[in-house]
Structure 1
């Protein structure tokens, strides 16, 4: 291998990848700076058992309905910082954002990277026990986190109020690869990249096969489901929303296509997502109030 090629692979390529995908990773230093002068800060918690460690950030009382946020690849719990910082959302929800195993401080014992969607979904089950309300959970997954969210919902449908998939990568036939994708698998390149990038690369190269394993669950998905897709998304092919329409079996599903939106809809269209969440929570409050009056006999 020529010296120039070695320089390109070991120096230039890692810098390019870090520049392209760095926006999806928030460093601990950036988090400390962000919350340095804020009164309200997320509560940090570690969930540990014999097989895994999960790092969780949460805001809002744990007696409120849980809003569980699942990030993509690469990503972290801090990818939903703007939602955790919203005072109205944290007043209405127990917002829980979790590092998936292989990202941040979350790990599966004796496994460096985890590519199985099923394993990711099962690993998140302990998070549900953090909530002490009697309400069902709303699960929101973005990008690669969307199919994991769907699988999680399929495991505990009776505990879920709603599934929201934003910029979902769920169609096994439209997985996108780029000119630099294969270089990211080289050990010499991975040596210079953050672990989150390498975990994302491992997921990418098995994602299509993992999505095929998920095909049977879509028809049996009966909870209220919302799919939000952008027309200018360069990571999740916009046709993913058509896959969702074809395969999701829920009669309470809605599909929102934002023609000019990119991949990071939870940032560009936070107001829309927030309004949707707040309206759904308010509706549930009214139902609970009516039920309470009926049970109490009323006056």
Structure 2
């Protein structure tokens, strides 16, 4: 009887923990439209929220835009896994960037409020959707910026869309032969534990499972790209191996490698002060090019 009681107690604790984790707002990595607007209003910045509809996929992609009528450069940010467009708040609120460019942040499919919980593991399909978004909004002089999983996506959009003039990949998982198998992601694959994992982490796990295969499908196209590609990476990244920079060196003809010491994988949102100067550098370069 005591054994049954202890077992029942453990199962009960596991059930409660699972329910708490799966419903925890913080672990879902997303903010509502209203929460975003209120946060930006506190800084006297107007954030416009819209949705790009893809009827054939029954999908709506959420877009946050901070724009100025006179800006001709457009920055589009793509988050990693798990995350949402809110990962880029520091960039959208940065006065230097706002003075020089329009700033767009996207909830990738399956995250935030873009069909939350329904994964889209194809990098090619995500890139096609984002390229169509750029076309629909008639955006020119585009710089795509992506962190972690968003890095290859940003690059693929640059391959597909001629209006993309430069790419910034931050801690990108770009090398199909150097994919780091994160032990914790296995919880999202096992039937016994999958239900315990918060929705955004399940989506991330599903992407992770086939990420190397997805990268392999598009790797031969990188050498055809001539636009600038910046690869920013920490030398002690414990999530995406630093060796990914070697792949960029070999496969992107017009690349620039920037290494940071001992900042970790999360430099995109923990250290925006390190990233923003390189965005400004590219913006200024593009502005000069457009005036010549």
TM-score, normalised with respect to structure 2 = 0.84
> 1:180 aligns to what SS in structure 2?
helix
Q: 2:85 aligns with which of 77, 80, 89?
A: 77
The runs of 5 or more residues in structure 1 that have no matched partner are 292-299
Q: 1:54 aligns with which of 61, 65, 68?
A: 61
C-alpha separation in 2, matches of 1:146 and 1:17: 27
Q: Deviations over 1:80-131 (max 9, x none)?
A: 01000111101111111001111122139xx932111111111112321365
Structure 1 residue 219, shift from structure 2 partner: 1.5
Query: In structure 1, what is the equivalent of residue 235 of structure 2?
Result: 231
The 3 A distance-change label for structure 1 pair 14 and 149 is farther
Query: In structure 2, what is the equivalent of residue 278 of structure 1?
Result: 280
C-alpha separation in 2, matches of 1:10 and 1:236: 32
The 3 A distance-change label for structure 1 pair 244 and 18 is farther
Structure 1 residue 210, shift from structure 2 partner: 0.9
Q: 1:34 aligns with which of 36, 39, 56?
A: 39
Number of aligned residues? 283
Q: Which moved more, 1:188-197 or 1:57-66?
A: 188-197
TM-score, normalised with respect to structure 1 = 0.83
Structure 1 residue 36, shift from structure 2 partner: 5.7
Query: In structure 1, what is the equivalent of residue 185 of structure 2?
Result: 181
Query: What RMSD over aligned residues (CA atoms) do the two structures have, in Å?
Result: 3.0
Q: Deviations over 1:221-249 (max 9, x none)?
A: 2211110111221211111111211222x
> 2:42 aligns to what SS in structure 1?
coil
The 3 A distance-change label for structure 1 pair 282 and 171 is closer
The runs of 5 or more residues in structure 2 that have no matched partner are 1-6
Asked whether the 8 Å contact 1:115–1:203 carries over to 2, the reply is: yes
> 1:124 aligns to what SS in structure 2?
helix
Query: In structure 2, what is the equivalent of residue 194 of structure 1?
Result: 198
Tell me, yes or no, if structure 1 residue 215 matches structure 2 residue 215: no
Structure 1 residue 216, shift from structure 2 partner: 0.9
Structure 1 residue 32, shift from structure 2 partner: 6.2
